[in-house]
Structure 1
């Protein structure tokens, strides 16, 4: 074993690192801004070091020209980035759900710096996305993510330029599915919010002099937060099932 490690092909090592490093740069959880860049680099190098003996036999020979080497590296980086961005697109479903809940509970103006999406978002969006990132590691879905990237060498052979049209179409479909899932996860709050507004409208018609928004807003906030307490576990279970299914499609059984 020691002899194999000492005789590792450096070209193969860095070629595998190009794909894995690009995936680690975008994968949810691994790519968070609060994780040190040096730690992410060391983690990617460590995983590459472990899997290189298993994958090096399937790698192409060193290209004769610098152009060929550059194209080979670009192809590997594109594939790794694709797997990372697919995870980010799937995680965006929670951001959509949190944004809708914030609007329906009149808390859309309560902003925080979301540590997962690395942008300003509502408090509920940040809460859901942070919970999603934690559950990725608690439920060992990060193992599934790593398996998908490692087994991608059977789907995307190194040395062959990836089919950019198919990758783009798959990524666009994932964005569409994530938005649809985000709307579905927020459906209990949609029903509650619409019912609340209808009742306020009827009450305003029956009692025109009554300031309905004066007491309607606190009721709306309390109602939506109560609904969230009841359904947040179901929201996360459904999301994690869809998230693992997305990466599981790339894993060879």
Structure 2
């Protein structure tokens, strides 16, 4: 009897770790390449160890077949990957905004290695992504992500069939919302850029001898950086509010 109880608890712990660990492996910040693998594993095990006592009662019994165990663990990993990918999609709003801003600020060719996206991005997009990750952790929104993972056991219990249709609809909606948020965040820069280009066109017609490109490019960069300095606070507040609202929808009241 004691052996069966220990086996059940150990199996339940690994089920919790499968969902929690996969969520952490796909969440921004936790999943970054600059975070050592052993540290990520230790964080995942520690969080699963804290959550397990409250969730063990909801864990199903260990299936008798290996295929049943694999299906059960695979379902938990899919749920965890879904919850973590939501945060990555939301971070895409900042990358979209930064890319648009870089284009209208004539900084599209100024590329650096982005530590968050793990690819080459514009300097503005990298700046916004790094700031977004830092603010998510400093404002304790990562606690909301972990709470969403814990509350997901009440929404999708272990052993329940994976809700592929609902997940696909939520993912598609989140991608569309993230793209729309990125465009909204970059809207002031687009308006300023269009206004500047129209004024520069009139100036070129009034003074044909003026070297418009030589004169306009540095001024355009300076104006957009000035607008960024003014608008970055409001942009980050709007992003954090949207980030919190999305994950609040995955938590219980």
Q: Tell me which interval the TM-score lies in, with the shorter structure as reference length.
A: over 0.9
CA deviation after TM superposition for structure 1 residue 33, in Å: 1.1
Give the distance between the partners of 1:233 and 1:8, measured in 2 at CA.
50
Give the distance between the partners of 1:184 and 1:27, measured in 2 at CA.
24
Are the equivalent residues in 1 in contact too, given 2:83–2:149 (CA < 8 A)?
A: yes
DSSP-derived class of the 2:113 partner: strand
DSSP-derived class of the 1:121 partner: strand
Partner in structure 2 of residue 247 of structure 1:
247
Task: For residues 16-66 of structure 1, give each alpha carbon's deviation from its aligned partner in whole angstroms, at most 9, with x where no partner exists.
Answer: 100001001000111111111110000000011111110000111111221
Partner in structure 1 of residue 25 of structure 2:
25
Give the distance between the partners of 1:90 and 1:42, measured in 2 at CA.
26
Give the distance between the partners of 1:114 and 1:219, measured in 2 at CA.
26
DSSP-derived class of the 1:186 partner: helix
Residues 194-233 of structure 1 mapped to structure 2, 5 A cutoff: 194-233=194-233
Partner in structure 1 of residue 68 of structure 2:
68
DSSP-derived class of the 2:208 partner: coil
DSSP-derived class of the 2:129 partner: helix
Are the equivalent residues in 1 in contact too, given 2:75–2:161 (CA < 8 A)?
A: yes
Are the equivalent residues in 1 in contact too, given 2:8–2:61 (CA < 8 A)?
A: no
Query: 4+ residue stretches of structure 1 with deviation over 3 A?
Result: none
Task: For residues 61-84 of structure 1, give each alpha carbon's deviation from its aligned partner in whole angstroms, at most 9, with x where no partner exists.
Answer: 111221111111111000000001
Partner in structure 2 of residue 85 of structure 1:
85
Partner in structure 2 of residue 49 of structure 1:
49
Partner in structure 2 of residue 128 of structure 1:
128
Query: CA-atom RMSD, angstroms?
Result: 1.1
Give the distance between the partners of 1:8 and 1:58, measured in 2 at CA.
11
Give the distance between the partners of 2:65 and 2:161, measured in 1 at CA.
16
Partner in structure 2 of residue 119 of structure 1:
119
Give the distance between the partners of 1:147 and 1:75, measured in 2 at CA.
19
CA deviation after TM superposition for structure 1 residue 207, in Å: 2.1
CA deviation after TM superposition for structure 1 residue 202, in Å: 1.1
Give the distance between the partners of 1:172 and 1:117, measured in 2 at CA.
20
DSSP-derived class of the 2:251 partner: coil
Does structure 1 residue 166 correspond to structure 2 residue 166? yes
CA deviation after TM superposition for structure 1 residue 7, in Å: 8.6
Partner in structure 1 of residue 101 of structure 2:
101
Partner in structure 2 of residue 147 of structure 1:
147
Task: For residues 123-152 of structure 1, give each alpha carbon's deviation from its aligned partner in whole angstroms, at most 9, with x where no partner exists.
Answer: 111110000000111100010000000110
- Alignment: residue pair count: 248
Are the equivalent residues in 2 in contact too, given 1:8–1:53 (CA < 8 A)?
A: no
Q: Where does structure 1 lack aligned partners over 5 or more consecutive residues? A: 1-5
TM-score by length of 2: 0.96
